Amino acid sequence: MKKGEVIYIPEFQFSDGSTSEKFIINLNSPKSEEPYLVVLVTSQQKHRKKIPGCHSNSGYYAIPKGVDFFD
């Protein structure tokens, strides 16, 4: 798997049993023993802040629409 590769899951199953299409994006190209860094993408803001950056207490990282990089 290469950096920037997108994985499409047509029927991702949530803990409540519902399903929806999902995308997972690989953010790195690790060396042999290093782990992959991937993100599960969502379009549902719900109770998430729009403030760009890491919100570790809530378990997400916000990247604004139209931005293709982050610090």
Q: DSSP string spanning the chain?
A: --TT-EEEEEEEEPTTS-EEEEEEEE-----TTSPP-EEEE----TT---SSEEETTTTEEE--TT-----
Q: Tens of pLDDT along 12-68?
A: 898 999 998 988 888 888 888 889 888 888 777 777 888 888 888 888 888 777 777
Distances (CA, A) of 14 to 11, 18, 21, 22: 9, 6, 11, 11
Residue type at 36? Y
The whole-model pTM stands at 0.62
Residue type at 12? F
